[in-house]
Amino acid sequence: MKQKELKEKWDELLENLYQENRLDDIQISTFFKPLLPIRLSEKEGKLYLKCSNNNPTFYQNKVVSYYNEIKDAVFAVFGKEYTIEVTDDGEIEEEESDNQIREDRLNPEYTFESFVKGPNNNFACAASLAVAEGYSKKYNPLFIYGGPGLGKTHLMHAIGQYVKQNKPKKKVLYVNSETFVNELSEAIRTSKQQQFKDKYRRLDYLLFDDVQFIAGKKFIEEELFNTFDALLNAGKQLVFTSDQHPTKIDNLPERITSRFAWGISVDIQPPEYETRLAILKNKALLNNVDVSNEKTMEALELIAQNTEGNIRELEGAFSRVLGFSLIMNQEINVSLTKKVLSDLFKPKNEKISAEKIKKSVASYFGIKVADMESSVRSRKVAYPRQIAIYLIREMLESSFPQIGEMFGGRDHTTIMHSYEKICEEIKSSKELYNTINTIKEKISE
Ligand code: ADP
Ligand code: MG
């Protein structure tokens, strides 16, 4: 759990204690507010808190004496029981698993294998692989650019994973602008610039994500520039990503952008339909969804047709559909997808016409559209007609006189009467409610 998240949970816990009157204001502010959560250890089942003065024993005793009061609060917030240990030593070592993530900060899911290639990203992908294999010195630095959610970060991590697996001795570090800025600021504040420099200059691969956010921060630019030069001179590999071509990043000094241009710049474009579909299929496979099921494939096609190029959004849409299908224990198909992603399909509603509504209603009741438009008054025809009137009013917001025209020039008061009758009936008849929903779904298909 990240420090920030941990702190939020801790604050929430204190708030709960207060709200539930388990401890009073003074107890909370004297005994607990001075403590800062620094680590949640799953292995030990412990929450470590740091106290701001040199008296951890005092606070530890308080924790123990109020443990009954706070035990439940801990459970409510963390979903599990933890014992609490107060320490005045903030430099507690992270757990090993944490350490590994920390060391290179690579996301194991972002690999070349899980990266779907298409005309939009072929070149970027090939260049990344070349860099990971390390056979071309020309590609240094490698600069990957493109819009949000198109796979830049994914490719960068893929390079890192590849190097880690195939050349375990090489030192790889992934960093984004924000982390770099924070680390450098912290190093300056605590006079540990040298450690900072050493850490970065020891690397064989520096993967620097979203470099555009460095722009305009002078002391950062300087350090980046120096790190950059030191690594390049030592023949180490640099990879950058950005939302823009290097020469188009505003506010970055020329001496930096010109170095970007020493290597190679590759772009990623939004994926076209086929690639979007391939990405969805891949995602489905990874989640054990049966993609040999035709209905499921139809649903994936529908999602691919209705999303733009941003892959993050594409994945988001799929995850919502998948989540719903798991909760409802239903297969993924077109109707489920439409239900879950109704917001995505809104523009399509414009294609709904009065004709389509009339046709769907008529076919549902097994009558002819012409009968509905005629003056026939038998219930067999009149009832579907009223439903069609209701649906046209609801779905197309046509006026009563307009609807009158659609039904053989009927008077608008007759239309209004039909509409209101259905509005009333639908409130009390579950059967009618279901009928209308079924027809609506057919109309939207
Ligand atoms: P960016 O860094 O360009 O904003 P990301 O690399 O974070 O985009 O990609 C957004 C999401 O889309 C990630 O979950 C990533 O795994 C996924 N993604 C992007 N491109 C592909 C691809 N070609 N194949 C599979 N997944 C992809
Ligand atoms: Mg990114």
List, in order, residues 6 or more apart from 300 with CB less than 8 Å away. 277, 280, 281, 284, 291, 318, 332
Ligand 1 site-directed mutation target among 269, 312, 318, most atoms within 8 Å of CB:
312
The Cα–Cα gap between 330 and 336 comes to 8
Average model confidence (pLDDT) for the chain? Answer: 88
- The alpha carbon of 150 and the centre of ligand 1 are apart by a number of angstroms equal to 5
Highest mean pLDDT: which of 22-31, 155-164, 347-356, 392-401?
A: 155-164
Which of 106, 150, 155, 272 most suits a substitution to test ligand 1, by most atoms within 8 Å of the C-beta?
150
Expressed in angstroms and rounded, the spacing between residue 148 Cα and the centre of ligand 1 is 9
Query: Which residue from 154, 177, 243 has its CB within 8 A of the most atoms of ligand 1, so it is best to mutate?
Result: 154
For ligand 1, atom 4, name the residue with the nearest CA. 149
Residue type (1 letter), 293: N
pTM of the model: 0.60
Q: Are 253 and 246 within 8 A, CB to CB? A: no
Place of tokens 């680590």: 39
Mean pLDDT value across residues 209-216:
88
Q: What's the pLDDT band for 91 if we cut at 50, 70, 90?
A: low
Ligand 2 geometric centre to CA of 421 (Å): 55
pLDDT band of 289, cuts 50, 70, 90: very high
3-class SS at 163?
helix
Q: How far is CA 343 from CA 301, 318, 340, 349, in A?
A: 17, 13, 8, 11
For 109-137, what is the mean pLDDT?
A: 92
The pLDDT confidence band at residue 133, using thresholds 50, 70 and 90, is very high
Q: How far is the CA of 145 from the centre of ligand 1 (A)?
A: 13
Residues in the chain: 445
pLDDT level of residue 99 (50, 70, 90 thresholds): very low
Task: Quick: pLDDT tens for 174-198.
Answer: 999 989 999 999 999 999 999 999 9
At 264 the pLDDT is 94
If one compares 348 and 204, the residue with the highest pLDDT of the two is: 204
150 CB near ligand 1 (under 6 Å):
yes
Lowest mean pLDDT among 288-297, 359-368, 427-436: 427-436
What is the rounded distance in angstroms from the CA atom of residue 166 to the CA atom of residue 388? 66
Do residues 242 and 249 lie in contact, with contact meaning Cβ atoms separated by under 8 Å?
Answer: yes
Please give the average per-residue pLDDT across 403-416, as a whole number.
Answer: 93
Q: Which of 320-324, 345-349, 383-387 has the lowest mean pLDDT?
A: 345-349
The pLDDT of residue 102 = 44
Q: What is the mean pLDDT of residues 64-68?
A: 78
CA 241–ligand 2 middle distance (angstroms):
8
Q: Tell me which of 20-34, 275-289, 323-337, 364-378 is least confident.
A: 20-34
277 CB near ligand 1 (under 6 Å): no
Query: What is the structure's pLDDT at 26?
Result: 82
- Pocket lining: 37 vs ligand 1, CB cutoff 6 Å: no
Task: Please answer whether residues 86 and 51 qualify as being in contact, where contact means their C-beta atoms are separated by less than 8 angstroms.
Answer: yes
For residue 218, what pLDDT is reported?
84
Q: Specify the ligand 1 atom closest to the Cα of 282.
A: 25
Indicate whether 96 pLDDT > 70: no
Atom of ligand 1 nearest to the CA of 268: 3
For residue 303, give the nearest of 332, 328, 263 by alpha carbon.
Answer: 332
Picking from 217-221, 222-226, 293-297, which range would have the lowest pLDDT averaged per residue? 217-221
- Can you point out the beta strands (E) in 194-303? 205-209, 237-242, 264-268
Lowest mean pLDDT among 216-220, 229-233, 289-293: 216-220
Query: Which ligand is located closest to the Cα atom of residue 212?
Result: 2
For residue 110 and ligand 1, the question of a CB distance below 6 A is answered with yes
Higher pLDDT, 323 or 128: 128
Mean pLDDT of 276-295: 94
**Atom 16 (ligand 1) nearest CA:** 154
